[in-house]
Structure 1
Amino acid sequence: MSQTLLLSHMYPNTPESLALANDEPWDDDMYDRAQAHLEAFYVEVFLELANYGEIEVVTETKALGGYGGPRILAPLDVVTSDPSKRAKLAEPTKATSSTVLVGSTLADFLLPESSLHQALLVEREPSWKDFQAILDQAVKQGDIREEDQMKIEFKKGSVDLAEVGDALLKMVRMKLPEDLRNSIRRDVIDIGNVVASLCPWSNTLIFKIEVMGENCCSRWHRDNYCARAIVTYNSVGTVYAPDDIVNFWELDYCGCNDKIIKDESQVCSVGVADVFFMKGKKFPSGPKGLVHKSPEIRHHEDGLVVNRLVLKVDVP
């Protein structure tokens, strides 16, 4: 009885609480929502403990092979695809400067030393099945387009981030593979919680799913807002440059890319599935204004563009 009352209070005025009160079983959707709710709660607990210095490092107690890489909490169980059948992924180039703090989990973004870097990175491995052909076909058929507005403006405390993830995915008109949908939904929750803690002055987060093909920003630039977290789910990730190889006069006065970068060999990139948090020009303190750009457009052997699917979490 006490367990039923506890669970009912965790999910007030929901189908889950009504089912519990009436001793009725849950269906699969109820279990999914409950798991997302519970995991979001524990993320908040870990982040609050980290904020108060009660914990220094959050570590996993088991290998994380099931979901795309290091995480605060145990991942959903998904089937790993055969690596030989994956779309070819570009190899990331590691940073050789202090520009980026590389953490082992998202909780590391909240460590004090994060304030000393322009960007924060958690490296992960994709575990979802290859969906490149599905995405390209959907773009070709017009089921999903680069100009589609798949965006939700989230006000802190308004709704649960699990609801944001579900609502955002409903805006995607193409049918995404279920393992990819689960990963995006979990990223909305986990990344959203961490970004909210990193940017406590902002009451708003903007979540976007975008297709990037021919119309991407391939010029070096700095974002004219506070911050952005980005995950690329296929093909190739974001490219960035340490300040010491940037000609800022060319950058600020419309120079072309080959004049902006002094040493191309020092340009860095993040990998597919990595979580990359970039501080923009309006970030209130510390190093900021990371110079970056979209990767060069890639093409298949038949000349058609290789489309990318990305999740963005913006702090305006």
Structure 2
Amino acid sequence: MYDLLLKSLLLMPRVFLRTLPVALLVALIYFGLIDNTSNPLWQIVFVLLLTTPCIAIIRMAALRAALVAADRTTPPTIAHLTKAQIRLAYGNLLPINVVQSIAMVIIAALVDASLTEGLTQASLEYAKTGSTAGYDEVAANFTTLLQAAGWIASLIAAAGFGVMGVPMAASAANAAEKRPRHDITFGLGWNFWKLALLYLVALFVNAIVAICLALIVLSALTLGDVSFARYVVPAAIVLYVSLHFATTASGAALSYGQLLDQKAVIRDYVKSQIAGPQTSADDLRALRQSRQRG
């Protein structure tokens, strides 16, 4: 269970160094478009249209870097990379995002119903007794519901990566010049529990690292020029995404390699069973010599 986690953490630094430049470039474009648009409606449009493709670009960069580091791929071509990128974005990542969105809509409806009922009762209590205890209880329940929603979103994402981790790596492998031509279901659910665990570990460990670094930078800025403080949060997001994607991509690439090795062993075994027992070169030589003497 923990061997994949350890190997992924050891592989992650090399993958991170290759992923970070791509993440910085994508972030400059993404946040630049949103920040330089004054119309809130257009900002929402940019967020809706660009978030999934931008995440897919960084994810592809991390997966390709992990496959290269694990020696499981060859250089890509532009045409194959473009096709693999589209498949990763809308065939591997979009289904996870859809499930998360549906879950969040359901949770939001439940939260709204709970808050409406709680506020009604708190208002009646306040009108009768003047007590604000009901409002405090509503606030506490709301915090609990938000925490539960965060856990549910994380678990759905972890389960989605457990199912789609190897297919993501297979999509990235298809970008190679001599691509293996994996279909979109190749490796579906392979190493599910190991990849789901890796996702959760990466989620919290990398978040702690990014937050700590952001706090250190903010503390340093308070002693100097505070005009750069507005860039700390986007920089922390880029750092976190790069670390998280590098860690999870390492696990996906290693799992992809394990699956390829297992299929190769099975294929060799089947070939050996079909071919039957093999005669050694020495036996063939002895048989030929005996026939020549006879």
TM-score by length of 1: 0.22
Structure with the greater alpha carbon radius of gyration: 2
TM-score by length of 2: 0.23
**Structure with higher helix content:** 2
**Structure with higher strand content:** 1
